[in-house]
Structure 1
């Protein structure tokens, strides 16, 4: 088996072309006019990691900086989760989750999915490390998925 290309950590993470899915969040009851939660305190080390993650996500088109003159009704604080000196940014969306309607759809069965590959001439791979930022959000969902850290407010464009 020959691997023609290896993935790197600094590859652009764009949405998969031709398979865009607009993600919308359905709200089942009115939420408070302002559901703004403050940023969580962060150590200097965590703050540096947060800013690095934010800048990377902006560079890849996953986040955008929310301007000072924009109306902001919903903000969600984020934290850094550490694992062996590796950091991961995690949003605390629990307050928003209490107002959203969960999607109900069947989970695909692995065997059925693998059967679809039978007879395939080519099998390709995708960098699953950044695979979760592939789906484009609707403008309404963008406004609900705003995160806050000490240095600003940012809006998710993809999920």
Structure 2
């Protein structure tokens, strides 16, 4: 898990970031829009609604060492769900390289949308 930050095209709902969540095995990514200012609780709710609610509880989550992922709230949530949390090592692309590649792709898509003025919306499904 990691974030892509804007600028995003502005529409009815103004988002300035999106959470990048990639399934290691299927290589399928989800990109729910969010805000840079979201708290750890907001991020957990976003994760719950977009991953746990639709796909089930993951066995292992790999993320960077962002304070939102290392907070006491998240640690307790992982413990309650029985999920193992693994942090990627800085400058070690083999650990979280898949998410980083998805982030590069997402940033490229966002830049192209911005150049055409297309509004960034999230459709579940």
Which structure dedicates a bigger proportion of its chain to helix? 2
Bucket of the pairwise TM-score, normalised by the shorter protein: under 0.3
Task: State the TM-score, normalizing by the size of structure 2.
Answer: 0.26
- RCO comparison, higher one (Cα < 8 Å, 6+): 1
TM-score under structure 1 length normalisation:
0.22
